[in-house]
Structure 1
Amino acid sequence: MSNVSNVENLSPQVIRSLAKEIADLCNDPPEGIKIFPNDEDITDIQAHIEGPAGTPYAGGSFRMKLVLGKNFPSEPPKGFFLTKIFHPNVASNGEICVNTLKKDWKAELGIKHILLTIKCLLIVPNPESALNEEAGKLLLEQYEDYSTRAKLYTEIHAKPMKCMEEKEIPSSPSKNCLEGPMAKKHAGDKKVIDKKKKEKKKVLKRL
């Protein structure tokens, strides 16, 4: 994944159009998607996508990145998940395989369309163009095993409330993580987290 900015290679018209769309997305984001623009590099577009309800990714917050090349929008950007995810259409390096970013790309398609397409990919994976062959095979042949594995990755890597992890819980309730009604639940939460930690360690040994 390249971190080199391509701003200098884009025309002023493309930059203006891109800046307007990003501003619009920040002011009125699609449901379940948050945009994090880079004020110093407009081609560095990052977002968090909430795992859709009813999927193995529900409850997770998945960070992803769009990499705009020097020929954008004539050529599609590349998409990467920065959060580790078990999904047929996501490679081990996070690269996302979806037709919108391949053969179905059109210059008039905007950033919003791309983000919504990637969110839809979490709802309806496409095992026919799998970058993760294991995930694709499980999805087709043993869905329950696929779902369990995907949920586990979501639990380990994509949970947004990091302050609830056992290693980050303070010795006494703090204003940052546990206050008000949450403070009363501290002892109970600690037991649950201890149990989850032991379960995760067992599973991670098998991964």
Structure 2
Amino acid sequence: MAGLARGRLAEERKQWRKDHPPGFVAKPRTKADGSTDLMIWDCKVPGREGTDWEGGLFPVTIVFSEGYPNQAPACYLPQGFFHPNVFENGQICLSLINDDPDLGGAWRPAVTNKQILQGIQELLDDPYTRSPAQRLATELHAADPEAYRRHVRAMVARYPADREGAA
């Protein structure tokens, strides 16, 4: 099965190089010895234009298991990232990358890294608050939209796109 996961990821890497959304970054991590680790990808997701997230470029780590593509990868924003669907450890709660149908999982082996990253971009501005991972962010989103926006803008300031040379 390990061969299946690595083969699929090598193909996704080729496809990404040919065609990826503007402003997004996704590449397998480089190991200390200089070799490529296809099982961990370091990515950047831009905030969508016209939203409070615009101007940010948010680091996402995707961790694949040997069971990929039959098992969904785990996706992480930085620890402590402010968002209703991000756990304290940074793990992203998104149905697209949840492979437990009893918990509303929508994972399918045909889902690509490109779709995952675009789903995360969409989730930033359109949180699913009926299944919160972070109490404060969820409460502010519902009860105090202006305070929520201030927290979002703080995330943008912490991870500005211009710092990375991308928009």
Distance 1:76 1:48 in 2: 19
Alignment-derived partner of residue 127 in structure 2? 125
**Structure 1 ranges of 4+ moved more than 4 A:** none
What's the TM-score, normalizing by structure 2? Answer: 0.83
Distance 1:62 1:41 in 2: 21
Structure 2 unaligned spans of 5+ = 30-34, 99-104
Distance 2:87 2:6 in 1: 30
In proportion to residue count, which structure has more helix? 1
Whichever residue aligns with residue 19 of structure 1, its letter is A
Is contact 1:64–1:83 with CA below 8 Å preserved after alignment?
no
Alignment-derived partner of residue 28 in structure 1? 19
Give the fraction of aligned pairs with identical amino acids, expressed as a percent: 25
Larger Rg: 1
The size of the alignment, in residue pairs, is 153
Is contact 1:56–1:148 with CA below 8 Å preserved after alignment?
no
In proportion to residue count, which structure has more strand? 2
CA shift at 1:15, angstroms? 2.0
Is contact 1:25–1:112 with CA below 8 Å preserved after alignment?
yes
Q: 1:75 aligns with which of 42, 54, 71?
A: 71
Q: Does 1:59 align with 2:55?
A: yes
Distance 1:162 1:107, change over 3 A: closer
Q: 1:10 aligns with which of 2, 8, 29?
A: 2
What's the TM-score, normalizing by structure 1? Answer: 0.68
CA shift at 1:10, angstroms? 1.1
Distance 1:61 1:83 in 2: 16
Alignment-derived partner of residue 117 in structure 2? 115
Q: Counterpart of 2:62 in 1: which secondary structure?
A: strand
Q: Counterpart of 2:38 in 1: which secondary structure?
A: coil
Structure 1 unaligned spans of 5+ = 1-8, 164-207
Q: Which has the higher contact order (CA 8 A, sep 6+)?
A: 2
Q: Counterpart of 1:56 in 2: which secondary structure?
A: coil
Is contact 1:84–1:158 with CA below 8 Å preserved after alignment?
no
Distance 1:32 1:154, change over 3 A: same
Is contact 1:127–1:137 with CA below 8 Å preserved after alignment?
no
CA shift at 1:161, angstroms? 4.0
